[in-house]
Structure 1
Amino acid sequence: MSTTSSVPTVTLNNGVEIPQLGFGVFQIPPADTKAATATALEIGYRHIDTAEMYGNEEGVGQAVRESGIPREEIFVTSKLNNGFHEPEAAAAAFQRTLETLDLGYVDLFLMHWPLPGVGDFVETWKAMEHMYEGGKVRAIGVSNFKQHHLNRLLAETTVVPAANQIEIHPYLTQDDMREYDREHSIATEAWSPIAQGKVLDDAVIERIARRVDRSTAQVVLRWHIQRGDIVFPKSVTPERVRANFELFDFELSDADMSEITALNRDERTGPDPDHFNYIPS
């Protein structure tokens, strides 16, 4: 069985290391989050991805605190709620995240969406730079940013985002965006890595899975790992959480990788960041 030592790390542009495979808690009900996170930590995950908008930071914090694992061995990401992009509101929201997680600090804090029709994400990013300077977050980054959004940040602010968390899966490979991130020393994280299950019955992926004697989900997650994506699949089923962790004792061939990448349709399961301006009520 895979162990934590088998999970590679990615070094962010400020020297902080993040495990390439993590556990996501998106859409896990708050009442179930502590148990789900505890299961993931028991299996060997050391990277947990949450967000204020998920409503389950508290359960993540409880599981980490009660795990018996030293805090510095667990990488925790959270994200700025869309409703708090004004600089003062962003600072207060970050403080609430610190208090809700109750872990002393956050390893990575992301701006969840650029919200181009709502405010000025550059001013929000400047507020996040102040958070970074304050020492309670080890790295700051963005989520759902496109090239033109990042171009503005790079031109108008000081800190280069450590990571860009975007939707990536075999039907939305985002190769141009990933290359842009690479050229600017921004790590790429993949959310919706199996397209909410839509890619799992693809004939190409099924054929490869039969050949390597793995599940289609494991094949897709392994594809992400070999591409260099940081990935954090979500499940509340312990068997599936364990299976999602067992990715490091097999490899896909170059031909397998190319075939899966060729499935790209530029097909999103989530909204287009250029038109998404949702503010939670």
Structure 2
Amino acid sequence: MRTVLIPTDFSKNALHALKYAQELYKCERTCFFIFHAYTDEVYGEFKTASPEQIEKLKLEKKVETEKKLDQLLDIVVGMPPNPMHTFETVAYFDSLVDGINDFVDEMNIDLVVMGTKGETSDHKTTFGSYTIEVFKYVKCPVLAVPEEFEYRQPKNILFPTDYMLPYKRRELKLLGDLAGKFKSNVYCLYITDFEELSPRQEDNKIFLKEALTRPYLFFETTAVKNRANAIMEYIDEKNMDMLVMVNSRHSFFEDMLYRSTVDLLSLKIKIPFLVMQNLNR
């Protein structure tokens, strides 16, 4: 059974991400964990409160969160319910990232699906601060879904890569299963001015071919330019349905996240964005 974690702040964007996940796994046995972390709501109101006040507020927020989660469940289960799907609600007293990481390890979650921004995010950007934090620090694949994106099967998937990472089979399996299920085309895009690959790059490219046997693989290159712009142009030109990147130390994605180029991610990405974590779990 697939296990999918859906963090929610009860915004429309979070609800939209949940509904997208339900469609994505419509024909697959899946357990959806609808998750809300409420630590910030407790300490945000009473930073200098006594321990007694904190404990009282913790209980109140827990009860309030559980009620909201139950109400959300009534909305998303559907009539009639999908017999392939089960749902559990989780009210978690922790920060968002730490709570997700703990729960991911505890329940061996396959995928985190969330909105690109919450209720309080800046509407001028595609990704909110919480989404960026989850991309950076959660040790599990994360799929972010823009609110304006209407569900369609991910038939065309863009996978920018420089072939420098020693990919992990477990992370590629998620992409392989997803793309294989929909008989998708996966376009591996290399942004470079050089025609030849190094032996290391050749080995990693061969591993991609061996690991991704179910989808249709295409290897393409484009000249060096602003990387985010190159990706955006390819998405528009080829009508991509999903963007996939790998987060690892010294990777292209890490460079975008950590070297003050987060704004590049907030341009106009209007399709679901899957970030695979090439990290130890």
Q: TM-score, normalised by structure 1?
A: 0.30
Higher strand share: 2
Tell me which structure has the larger Cα radius of gyration: 2
